[in-house]
Structure 1
Amino acid sequence: MDSISFGAFLSPLHPLGEDPALSLWRDLELAEWLDRLGYEELWVGEHHSAGWGTVGSPELFIATAAERTRHIRLGTGVVSLPYHHPFMVASRAVQLDHLTHGRFALGVGAGSIPSDMHFLGIDPADTRRRTAQSLAVIHRLLTSEEPVTERTDWFELRDARLQLRPRSAAGLPLAVSSAVSPFGMRLAGQYGAAPLSFGVPPRPGSSIDDLAAQWRHAEESAAEHGRTIDRADWRVALSVHVSESREQALDEVVDGWMRYRNAYWALLGTPPAHSRAEARKVLEELIDRRSTVIGSVDECVEAVRDVQKATGGFGRLLVTVMDWADREAMKRSFELFARFVAPRFNGALNGVTASYGWVREQALAHHAAEQARARNAGR
């Protein structure tokens, strides 16, 4: 597929040292900026520990952001299903569907932070089972008016049905997250939901091929369950930074990227970078492997095309919000991407390019005719 649309993914992760309340307000300000720039979606994550991620309820953030924006669709990226009763997840989702006038999408997943699970007394080995059980109930609540009675070892419903129904007859948009294992992609295929892939992990040996292999799991699962799944609904989240050149872009992000790697990703097992030079070298390798997209406008266009080709095609690229550059450089990156990278993929330039080409042909033809008449008159 040739056309791609664009959105953003806000984990959100912010380095320690800044007032967390002000970080929340800055994220809301960014949502307004993305809306003005024409980004089509913003997905917001859920975190409860480790200090960097302080949005405990993406639904509350989205409700606030919806009042500040006009067009951008807002999704949970994601609600960690093992942490919540499925009826409450479905009920809150439908309420947001109405409050946002249909701009809400429910993204769900298993959770990824072991300390969050520890706080809640959840064995990490149980998260996938709980996610599958929860999603089965949520899907029934959202798509059927029949009462749901279900009992597991961690939740129970008795004759449960939603008072509010999804705003649209087409239902509430549903997405399932996927990272490394095939679990999320298979679950998305099972329900015909949109896969939401969190790009390529920042670890040695990872590459865009890891991402490309995921789609096959979604297709196979959809076929097994009698459903269809469309690449146009596949969201891929990648970190992106656009500047005047690759050199300048690297200068703007390398210190912040090293801080992410050493202070946050190291908690999840990623080896630290021991110097700025080492960090820059690793970051350049990730760029070359298309695990991240950093550089000039033309370099970023080329990188997105490479990712598009390597994956076999996807419908929407989500630019991951990273606090790895200063505020103005980050906002400028989003602006450069919206102005000069996205139009090369979403068809925005087709009309003006065709008009320019036609007028140029007419002008050249007129100029050639004038020259011919001048030559004839001189004979």
Structure 2
Amino acid sequence: MRLGYFAMPLHPLGRTWAETLEEDRAAVVLADSLGFHDAFIGEHLTDRHENITNSLLFLATLIGDTRQIRLATGTTNLSQQHPVLVAANSAMFDHLSDGRFILGISPGALASDAEALGILDEDRNKIFAEAIDVILKIWELDPPYAIDLPDNRFTVSTATTLDRELGVGFLPKPLQQPRPEIVGTVVAPFSKGVIAMGRRDFHPLSANFLLPQWVATHWPNYVQGKETVGELADPADWRVARTVFVAEDAAVARAYGRDDEASPYRFYYSQMLKKMRKLGRLELFKTRRDQPDDEITLDYVLDSLVITGTPESVTEQILAFREQVGAFGELVYAGLDWVDPTLARRSMELMAQKVIPDVNAALGAEA
């Protein structure tokens, strides 16, 4: 099992933007030094708490400060940019990072972002599907491109202005061929989008705020998508994010990871609970559809979704979680605000140096 990192970084108000951006950078640099496989960074335009506005721009600042970790958008919101911009900028990033780029994609879920861009009433899922088709065509074809797909708003051509002698009219291709790895974040139970991922050889990343029983619904759909194109699904391609805090002391782990009013885990899920309640999506936290809304309390959500404890306890919890959802290739550690930088750093160290090695040892013994 690999270890990855994901942050949609959610910071409390009162800290400067420069301070939180530097903290978010420090977390990825630390992950690189600890041997994390990849780091996914989210983006929002209009959220004061989740304040990275462009994940590719943020990740570009990390290329020179990291050595082996793969740098992933988590996600590039495809309804918010023209696909030519995404294709060209991602290709350049792939070369700058010497092929360490992963393109994470989604439509873009934050309604206030869509309103600010004037697309609130648009079908953003459709724009997303159209955009990824065009991006892949740009990377596949040579100029003048002549991309005019059925039922797709985007057309791409440089036929009128193409000058081969001058080198004008050429869109860049990524370093990784035929393309970088493409990863889609999955946030809904029984997601049909996962079937499409399987068909197109995109890889799923199941969100950290889904109950285990809903995470378990993703893999069968991915397998189904693979089967439709005559391919076998490899569990190594499935990433599953979890909210984890590890400490040598069990009392410290429970306080910082759950009970203390200043706990970043408590703050994170307080914000998530408010957002999902407002969006009418509390079912994400329910074990059954008829579960009353008033049962979905903050303590209930923390008990259901935060893995916290000593290294030994966290190892046991991760193995039990894997029993619930099935085999997957990468546990993606959710990065939160560093209320206590020492504890936050130590938790990442313990995950990389103790927990994941022990999990893999246990899985190897089982095999």
Letter in 2 for 1:131: F
Whether 1:249 aligns to 2:249 is: no
Whether 1:261 aligns to 2:261 is: no
Alignment partner, residue 230 of structure 1: 234
CA contact (8 A) 2:208 2:334 kept: no
Q: Which sections of structure 2, spanning at least 5 residues, go unmatched?
A: 160-168, 283-296
Residue-by-residue CA offset, 1:234-289 (whole Å, 9 max, x unaligned): 11111110012443212113323333333454133278xxxxxx75x425531xxx
Residue-by-residue CA offset, 1:165-224 (whole Å, 9 max, x unaligned): 2213353111112111514312311211111111333xxxxx201001111122222322
CA contact (8 A) 1:294 1:300 kept: yes
- TM-score, length-scaled by structure 1: 0.80
Larger of the two Rg values belongs to structure:
1
Looking at structure 1, the residues matched to 141 and 94 of structure 2 have their Cα atoms a distance apart, in angstroms, of 17
CA contact (8 A) 2:241 2:332 kept: yes
Structure 1 residue 93 displacement after superposition: 1.1
CA contact (8 A) 1:109 1:176 kept: yes
CA contact (8 A) 1:200 1:208 kept: no
Task: State the SS of the aligned residue for 1:88.
Answer: helix
Moved more, 253-262 or 340-349: 340-349
Which protein is richer in helix relative to its size? Answer: 1
Structure 1 residue 329 displacement after superposition: 0.9
Among 104, 127, 131, the alignment partner of 1:130 is 127
Q: CA distance change for structure 1 residues 344 and 141 in 2, over 3 Å: closer, same or farther? A: farther
Looking at structure 2, the residues matched to 183 and 133 of structure 1 have their Cα atoms a distance apart, in angstroms, of 17
RMSD value over aligned CA atoms?
2.7
CA contact (8 A) 1:193 1:229 kept: no
| Identical pairs, percent | 28
Alignment partner, residue 66 of structure 1: 63
Looking at structure 2, the residues matched to 297 and 221 of structure 1 have their Cα atoms a distance apart, in angstroms, of 36
Equivalent pairs, count? 333
Alignment partner, residue 341 of structure 1: 355
Looking at structure 2, the residues matched to 247 and 37 of structure 1 have their Cα atoms a distance apart, in angstroms, of 25
Q: CA distance change for structure 1 residues 261 and 6 in 2, over 3 Å: closer, same or farther? A: closer
Looking at structure 1, the residues matched to 114 and 176 of structure 2 have their Cα atoms a distance apart, in angstroms, of 34
Q: Which sections of structure 1, spanning at least 5 residues, go unmatched?
A: 202-206, 272-277, 354-379
- TM-score, length-scaled by structure 2: 0.83
Whether 1:174 aligns to 2:182 is: yes
CA contact (8 A) 2:134 2:147 kept: no
Q: CA distance change for structure 1 residues 61 and 162 in 2, over 3 Å: closer, same or farther? A: farther
For residues 275-354 of structure 1, the aligned pairs below 5 Å read 279=298, 281-282=299-300, 285-286=303-304, 291-323=305-337, 325-346=339-360
Task: State the SS of the aligned residue for 2:269.
Answer: helix
For residues 1-379 of structure 1, the aligned pairs below 5 Å read 4-123=1-120, 126-145=123-142, 147-150=145-148, 154-159=153-158, 163-181=171-189, 182-201=191-210, 207-254=211-258, 255=261, 256=263, 257-263=265-271, 265-269=273-277, 279=298, 281-282=299-300, 285-286=303-304, 291-323=305-337, 325-346=339-360
